[in-house]
Structure 1
Amino acid sequence: MSVVDLDASAATRQLPPSMVERVTLIMDAFERRTTTLTLEQVTARTRLPRSTAHRILDQLVQVAWLEHTSFGYALGPRALGFGGQDGSHGEIRAAAAPVLQELFLRTGLVVHLAVLEDAQIHYLDKLGGPLAAMLPSRVGGRAPAHTTAIGKAMLAWVDPERVDQLSGGRLVRRTERSIGDLAVLHQELGRIRTRNGLAYESGESVRGIACVAAAIRGQRGAVAAISLCGEARNTQLERVAPLVLDGAREVSRELFPELAKPRRVPVRSGERTWSPEAMDRFLASAVGGSWV
């Protein structure tokens, strides 16, 4: 038997003996809802042969447990309902909490954290003094994305065709200053990109209120955004805008540490990040397919 044959035989013996264990190794490699991995990173973490990992990844993508983008593989819509992902955006809120507190203490303005859901923003957090009670925004509340600085900050990183789809060809005005034309909205989103992601609005969502916002971005675009809001007549947004941009970047680094600096991907240990109950639910729906 040649050396090559011996190596191939050893590699075969080291493979997990069952399909269930191979799928488990791959799903455990995605330790956070924001984790994005290339095929090479998956093979390094799982120690599976490249061809085996590639086939299983493709099958997981087909059934929406994973997504495949130009940046690599990430948890898909079905997986995000399992493994402790309850849809509450807890990880984003936890990462942003100290930044939101610091922004409020330094500026005294109302601070918002929101995510984009279709054509609306969904507020995850809100801090502020007396002015906060005057604003209609609330945790769990929603507003048309194109009428707010925080919404436009996220829309700026969405494909233009997708923006058109989300709007349905019609933009609802909340005030006389709201953007009501798609062409105008696309021009505004272009300006936001040229400003390194800073978005402004004055009286477009609430009369007399001005805001500045910046998106929290990962490898696949904006995952959330932060804004500062105050009374339009006495708030100098240009002075606090750098604080918002720095804050958004800080949260991005916390959520996506792999973007901060290149690092060698460590080989995964046997520790599992999913609870036994969540893995049982996942496997109950996964084992019906044809797996390698």
Structure 2
Amino acid sequence: MTSALRLSPRSSEVEGQALPPSMMERVTLIMDLFERPQTHLTLETVSRRTQLPRSTTHRILDQLVRLDWLRHTVAGYTLGRRALGLGGREIGHSALRAAAAPHLLELAVRTRMVVHLAVLDGPEVYYLDKVGGRAAVDIPSRVGGRAVAHCTGLGKAMLAWLSPEEIDARYAQPIECRTRHSIGSLDQLHRELGMVRRRNGLAIDRGECFPDLGCVGLALRGPDGPVGAISVVGDGRSSLELVAPVVVDTVRAVSEELFESARQDRVILH
């Protein structure tokens, strides 16, 4: 969003009396606070930063939520479907890639494996980045490409933090099997996601998407759920669990950078 709207003396004052901004100006003041798709703000924060009365702020926020410009979550208000559809999704992807880039390179160097960064899009994962030097050529994935989520460590790591009802909605159609090791039914998928949660979010794929390849993935979790995932890919017969701690460290580092502004907003309130 652009910087906060500045009112001209003519629009804000008449005969020395301060006048409230117009409705459009008030909405602009509020929407300008949501600088990134990950930004979450409480009613009190929005009221304080815009200097609008709390009751006025609440009324406008409620209208913006009803019109899908914002969403109201347990962590506060955040950009909604309409706002994200006006380029916010791409901005979010760029912010995610920027926060993750140096950590993905370090992960690839430490593990000597190919590293993926992806987001969830319906029943698919969408690859945002791929790091691994010459070894990456041998992995049949590409930046901007897609894969069925339930067949990948990346996808299962993100699906595990959705509600059972949302999983059912995403897989209303028959589940696609990529290999003989792929998950083949909704019941099997729910059992697998339960296992991922019991492993503290670590998801493992052994030949489920591509024969002879395996990966271990972990989701980047924001206030509203998974915003992406990181995985390392290698030989499906290797001990993938051995690199899991390094993946955990990487996800933690990226999360700290990605959600730093959201944490600062919460600290200000206390």
Question: Which residue does the alignment assign to 1:48?
Answer: 52
Question: Which residue does the alignment assign to 2:82?
Answer: 78
Question: Which residue does the alignment assign to 1:285?
Answer: none
Does residue 131 of structure 1 match 2:142?
Answer: no
Matches of 2:180 and 2:109, distance apart in 1:
32
Question: Which residue does the alignment assign to 2:110?
Answer: 106
Q: How far is the alpha carbon of 1:15 from its aligned partner? A: 6.5
Q: Deviations over 1:144-191 (max 9, x none)?
A: 100000000000011111111111142100000000011111111111
Q: Which residue of 134, 156, 178 corresponds with 2:182?
A: 178
Matches of 1:106 and 1:169, distance apart in 2:
40
What amino acid is aligned across from residue 74 of structure 2 in structure 1? S
Question: Which SS does the other structure have where 1:121 is aligned?
Answer: strand
The size of the alignment, in residue pairs, is 252
Question: Which residue does the alignment assign to 1:274?
Answer: none
Q: How far is the alpha carbon of 1:134 from its aligned partner? A: 1.8
The answer for unaligned runs of 5 or more in structure 2 is 1-16
Matches of 2:201 and 2:265, distance apart in 1:
21
Q: How far is the alpha carbon of 1:261 from its aligned partner? A: 9.4
Question: Which residue does the alignment assign to 1:249?
Answer: 252
Question: Which residue does the alignment assign to 1:290?
Answer: none
* Partners of 2:37 and 2:89 within 8 A in 1: no
Range with bigger deviation, 157-166 or 246-255: 246-255
Does residue 232 of structure 1 match 2:236?
Answer: yes
* Partners of 2:216 and 2:231 within 8 A in 1: yes
* Partners of 1:169 and 1:182 within 8 A in 2: no
Matches of 2:254 and 2:90, distance apart in 1:
19
Question: Which residue does the alignment assign to 2:43?
Answer: 39
Cα 1:167/1:228, change in 2 over 3 Å: same
What amino acid is aligned across from residue 70 of structure 1 in structure 2? V
Q: How far is the alpha carbon of 1:86 from its aligned partner? A: 6.1
Matches of 1:188 and 1:238, distance apart in 2:
16
What amino acid is aligned across from residue 242 of structure 1 in structure 2? P
Range with bigger deviation, 23-32 or 138-147: 23-32
What amino acid is aligned across from residue 31 of structure 2 in structure 1? M
Q: Deviations over 1:124-147 (max 9, x none)?
A: 000113332122110010011000
Question: Which SS does the other structure have where 2:214 is aligned?
Answer: strand
Q: Which 4+ residue blocks in structure 1 deviate beyond 2 angstroms?
A: 13-17, 84-88, 258-262
Q: Which residue of 188, 191, 197 corresponds with 2:192?
A: 188
Cα 1:107/1:60, change in 2 over 3 Å: same
Question: Which SS does the other structure have where 2:177 is aligned?
Answer: coil
Question: Which residue does the alignment assign to 1:201?
Answer: 205
Q: Deviations over 1:97-133 (max 9, x none)?
A: 0110110111110000000000000000001133321
Question: Which residue does the alignment assign to 2:14?
Answer: none
* Partners of 1:45 and 1:265 within 8 A in 2: no
Where does 1:140-289 land on structure 2 (aligned, <5 Å)? 140-233=144-237, 235-257=238-260, 258-259=262-263, 262-265=266-269
Does residue 29 of structure 1 match 2:40?
Answer: no
The answer for unaligned runs of 5 or more in structure 1 is 1-12, 267-292
Per the normalisation by structure 2, the TM-score is: 0.88
Cα 1:30/1:196, change in 2 over 3 Å: same
What amino acid is aligned across from residue 239 of structure 1 in structure 2? L
Q: Deviations over 1:62-81 (max 9, x none)?
A: 21111112222101121124
Cα 1:69/1:261, change in 2 over 3 Å: closer
Does residue 69 of structure 1 match 2:61?
Answer: no
Question: Which SS does the other structure have where 1:210 is aligned?
Answer: strand
* Partners of 1:198 and 1:213 within 8 A in 2: yes
Cα 1:164/1:254, change in 2 over 3 Å: same
Q: How far is the alpha carbon of 1:227 from its aligned partner? A: 0.3
Question: Which SS does the other structure have where 2:81 is aligned?
Answer: coil
Matches of 1:52 and 1:240, distance apart in 2:
52
- Structure with the larger RCO, 1 or 2 (CA within 8 Å, 6+ apart): 1
What amino acid is aligned across from residue 51 of structure 1 in structure 2? S
